[in-house]
């Protein structure tokens, strides 16, 4: 399966936060609903319920915005917007299903906004009503031409549209403020639901009509491939649009409820807005309506083809492959644009029939649109929830105002709202998404019998191991699968505790004891050691596995263990052991570490100086001595994992680099700060000058740390093992517990 990562690189348009995210988002938010549909909702639901509807809708988009911000600040974001974020988190099955949903949601937005524009035009100019169909089709054609010229032209056009829209909002709200009556406002506080077309209005049907007012946040996200800095622009632009849009809609509810009667709100909202325009500047409001609806349609017409292009390039649906091709150095999704326009014409043709039959085409399309966006937002929140709740070490978003519980709340809000609006259609939509999911997945479920729980666990484990075995290994998915040479764990409690802290419930830890002797003679000892090890794990409530080996030679057993201890793809990638007790033992120990590296297994050697105080309220300090990314990447990742244990909840991380007098301190500090920023790990960068020798500097800086991380490199010549052991034994004398890290290079800090 191809992905965006394999496509030819392109620079896109390099838009900034304002032009690339905020402008298209706010223009889509301040669209048809603001001028055409909001009054009907206020008149039906009343002020209190309308504010509640706005609050629920904005809460959903705010929570979704937090999920988008978390994912987009965690890794590189490419073309495809929300689809790219979801598919890279939940995988191609969910990505394919929700990708089509997102594309259809954005595509249906185009005829929705064009219908709003056409209705506004025919209401402002009644003589044009006979040309309703022609106006809608002509408008679509003009928008197509603008997009064919390129997104840069569309963005430039939106700047002028934004100016007109701001002026229009000022005129109609200013007029409403002058007409404001406290008595009328009080009369409009409570709901007054009535029949609209064939439907009896209710709180949730009003919510369905109103929700498109908050769906514009995806428009800016969908421009991800054309942004200069997506990880910065997407969170900022999205939240700015959410808050500005929410404030404007809240002011509209309050002012219009006090400026218009119930009947005017329900049946003549737009014409009353025109009549109440500030200084009789009716034409300004009309221009604003046109600007709002046209810009929203323009933004959706830009976003939908980009989702389709990213979906096609992932080669999930073979029939969509032709739509992955881009045009020119900016990679314009021309084919997707033509398909989106064609669907728009079909929906408009259907809407014309509904209009002739007296149907509420705008409200119908708006309700369908709401359902699509609710599911799209729900899946976006699921993606963020899965990343965070799975405790993947690579999930380190720079956006800190996020927690898996906010994503879960956003998910529940979306699906509950969909069910309350119209549960039949909501369940049908779920069925369609699941069908797409299963189509992409193309697998056969197997059933096992016997013990229900064990059979289920075994079946799922087998299936997942087989799937994991076929997945390419990637540094982003690195998790510590640790072999810990504990021996009798009661005698090496510090090593065991640090091993479990570094695993941090993200990976798998196996505590190993090797018994030297013949298997026949040592079998009773093996059983006793296994029971002791299991009891130790259970008593301490450690989440770890146990392994006991019997061998005539300790070192040969350790080498065999590193090579063979695996269950399919779950192979060890981290070896933890204690510092050799003598220089003679350093030769086989260092040889084991070299073999481990050849097997792509990193090593951590612990120099035991005891555990830090158990008091979680005490600030703990972690010192990392940086000498480059060779071992530094793994040291920072392990530090990140260590800090996610409750015992280390209050911590201070220092990344130190020792330099000699001739080196540039400013440049060194900039390098360290850049590393901390890119790795998304909070800490202090400190550059220290070596005054006498490195040992003196090391002891001076880190003698009072809680734990120290140092890189450790073993030379190929084993004859130097004893001198290396002596050197480090002297170097580390006087330090607290120290972890010497020897990386295989598999863990990449900057993914």
Q: What is the pLDDT of residues 550-576, one digit of tens each?
A: 999 999 999 999 998 887 788 899 999
Mark whether 379 and 508 lie in a shared domain: no
In a domain, 467, yes or no: no
In a domain, 405, yes or no: no
In a domain, 700, yes or no: yes
What pLDDT sits at residue 579?
A: 94
Res. 3: pLDDT tops 50: no
Better pLDDT: 357 or 364: 364
Q: What is the DSSP string of 508-557?
A: EEEEEEEEES-HHHHHHHHHHHHHHHHHHHHHTT---EEEEEEES-HHHH
What is the pTM for the complete model shown? Answer: 0.72
Res. 464: pLDDT tops 80: no
* Average pLDDT rounded to a whole number, residues 260-267: 92
* Separation of alpha carbons 247 and 748, rounded Å: 43
* Average pLDDT rounded to a whole number, residues 385-401: 79
Instruction: Return the CATH number at 677.
Output: 3.40.50.12370
pLDDT confidence bin for 618, thresholds 50/70/90: confident
Residue 594 belongs to domain spanning? 475-742
What pLDDT sits at residue 61?
A: 92
Strand partners, 466: none
At a CB cut-off of 8 Å and minimum separation 6, what does 13 contact? 20, 151, 152, 155, 226, 330
Round the average pLDDT of the chain to a whole number and report it: 84
Least confidently predicted of 98-102, 170-174, 270-274, 623-627: 98-102
* Average pLDDT rounded to a whole number, residues 330-346: 88
* Separation of alpha carbons 223 and 304, rounded Å: 10
What pLDDT sits at residue 92?
A: 66
Mark whether 110 and 15 lie in a shared domain: yes
Res. 485: pLDDT tops 90: yes
Mark whether 36 and 128 lie in a shared domain: yes
Mark whether 640 and 553 lie in a shared domain: yes
Q: How many domains does one find in the chain? A: 2
3-state helix, strand, coil in the chain (%, to 5): 65, 10, 25
568: left (phi over 0), alpha (psi -120 to 50) or beta: left
Better pLDDT: 94 or 140: 140
- Phi (first) and psi of residue 625, to 5 degrees: -95, 115
In a domain, 441, yes or no: no
What pLDDT sits at residue 604?
A: 96
In a domain, 256, yes or no: yes
Least confidently predicted of 75-84, 301-310, 672-681, 704-713: 75-84
What pLDDT sits at residue 616?
A: 77
pLDDT confidence bin for 716, thresholds 50/70/90: low
Mark whether 200 and 310 lie in a shared domain: yes
Q: Are 170 and 287 in contact (CB under 8 A)?
A: no
To the nearest 10 degrees (0 to 180), the angle between helices 92-124 and 404-441 is: 100
What pLDDT sits at residue 741?
A: 95
The structure tokens 């069908």 sit at 435
| Last residue within a domain, chosen from 369, 384, 399 | 399
Instruction: Return the CATH number at 52.
Output: 1.20.1740.10
Mark whether 184 and 89 lie in a shared domain: yes
Res. 93: pLDDT tops 70: no
Mark whether 377 and 513 lie in a shared domain: no
* Structure tokens belonging to residue 23: 């402008």
* Average pLDDT rounded to a whole number, residues 730-734: 92
In a domain, 82, yes or no: yes
Mark whether 491 and 593 lie in a shared domain: yes
Containing 623, the helix (H) or strand (E) segment is: strand 620-625
In a domain, 417, yes or no: no
What are the strands of the beta sheet with 738-742, ordered from one edge?
A: 545-551, 508-516, 481-485, 574-578, 602-607, 738-742, 707-711, 620-625, 651-659, 684-689
| Last residue within a domain, chosen from 370, 399, 428 | 399
Better pLDDT: 458 or 733: 733
Res. 581: pLDDT tops 70: yes
Strand partners, 170: none
In a domain, 435, yes or no: no
Res. 447: pLDDT tops 50: no
């Amino acid at each position: 399966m191809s992905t965006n990562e394999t496509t030819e690189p392109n620079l896109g348009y390099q838009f900034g936060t304002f032009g690339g995210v905020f402008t298209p988002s706010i223009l889509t938010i301040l669209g048809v609903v603001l001028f055409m549909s909001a009054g009907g909702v206020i008149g039906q639901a009343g002020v209190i319920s309308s504010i509640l509807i706005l609050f629920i809708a904005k809460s959903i988009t705010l929570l979704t915005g937090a999920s988008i911000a978390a994912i987009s600040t965690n890794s590189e974001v490419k073309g495809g917007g929300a689809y790219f974020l979801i598919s890279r988190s939940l995988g191609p099955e969910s990505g394919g299903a929700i990708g089509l949903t997102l594309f259809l949601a954005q595509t249906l937005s185009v005829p929705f906004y064009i219908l709003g524009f056409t209705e506004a035009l025919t209401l402002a100019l009644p003589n044009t009503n006979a040309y309703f169909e022609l106006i809608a089709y002509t408008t679509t054609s003009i928008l197509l031409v603008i997009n064919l010229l390129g997104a840069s032209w569309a963005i430039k056009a939106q700047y002028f549209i934004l100016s007109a829209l701001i002026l229009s909002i000022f005129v109609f709200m200013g007029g409403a403020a002058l007409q404001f009556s406290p008595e009328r406002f009080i009369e409009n506080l409570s709901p007054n639901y009535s029949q609209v077309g064939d439907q009896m209005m209710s709180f949730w049907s009003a919510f369905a009509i109103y929700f498109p007012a908050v769906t514009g946040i995806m428009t800016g996200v969908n421009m991800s491939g054309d942004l200069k800095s997506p990880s910065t622009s997407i969170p900022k632009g999205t939240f700015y649009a959410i808050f500005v849009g929410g404030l404007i809609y809240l002011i509209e509810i309050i002012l219009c409820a006090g400026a218009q009667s119930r009947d005017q709100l329900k049946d003549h909202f737009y014409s009353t807005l025109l009549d109440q325009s500030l200084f009789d500047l009716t034409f300004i409001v009309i221009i604003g309506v046109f600007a709002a609806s046209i810009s929203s349609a323009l933004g959706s017409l830009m976003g939908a083809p980009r989702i389709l292009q990213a979906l096609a390039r992932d080669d999930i649906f073979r029939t969509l492959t032709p739509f992955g091709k881009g045009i020119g150095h900016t990679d314009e999704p021309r084919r997707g644009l033509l398909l989106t326009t064609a669907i728009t014409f079909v929906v408009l043709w259907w809407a014309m029939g509904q209009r002739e039959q007296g149907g509420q085409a705008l409200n119908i399309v708006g309700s369908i649109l709401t359902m699509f966006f609710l599911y799209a937002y729900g899946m976006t929140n699921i993606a963020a929830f899965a990343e965070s709740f799975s405790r993947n070490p690579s999930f380190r978003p720079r956006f800190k105002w996020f927690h898996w519980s906010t994503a879960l709340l956003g998910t529940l809000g979306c699906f509950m709202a969909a069910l309350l609006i119209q549960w039949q259609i909501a369940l049908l939509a779920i069925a369609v998404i699941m069908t797409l999911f299963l189509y992409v997945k193309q697998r056969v479920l197997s059933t096992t019998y016997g013990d229900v729980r064990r059979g289920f666990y075994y079946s799922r484990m087998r299936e997942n191991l087989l799937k994991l075995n076929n997945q390419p290994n990637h540094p982003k998915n690195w998790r510590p699968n640790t072999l810990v040479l504990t021996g009798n764990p009661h005698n090496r409690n510090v090593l065991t505790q640090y091993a479990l802290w570094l695993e941090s419930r993200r990976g798998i830890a196996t505590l190993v004891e090797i018994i030297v002797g013949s298997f026949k003679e040592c079998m009773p000892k093996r059983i006793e050691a296994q029971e002791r090890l299991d009891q130790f794990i259970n008593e301490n409530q450690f989440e770890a596995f146990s392994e006991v080996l019997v061998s005539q030679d300790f070192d040969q057993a350790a080498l065999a263990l590193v090579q063979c201890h695996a269950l399919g793809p779950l192979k060890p990638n981290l070896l933890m052991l204690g510092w050799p007790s003598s220089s003679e033992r350093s030769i086989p120990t260092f040889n084991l570490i070299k073999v481990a590296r050849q097997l792509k297994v990193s090593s951590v050697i612990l120099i035991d100086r005891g555990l830090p105080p158990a008091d979680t309220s005490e600030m703990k300090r972690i010192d990392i001595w940086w000498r480059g990314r060779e071992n530094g990447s793994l040291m920072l990742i392990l530090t990140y994992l260590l800090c996610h244990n409750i015992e280390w909840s209050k911590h201070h991380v220092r990344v130190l680099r020792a330099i000699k007098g001739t080196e540039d301190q400013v440049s060194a500090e900039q390098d360290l700060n850049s590393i901390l920023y890119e790795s998304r790990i909070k800490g202090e960068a400190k550059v220290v000058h070596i005054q006498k020798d490195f040992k003196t500097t090391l002891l001076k800086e880190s003698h009072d740390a809680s734990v120290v991380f140092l890189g450790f490199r073993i030379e190929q010549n084993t004859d130097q093992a004893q001198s290396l052991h002596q050197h480090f034994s002297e170097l580390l004398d006087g330090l607290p517990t120290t972890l010497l890290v020897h990386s295989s290079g598999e863990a990449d800090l900057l993914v």
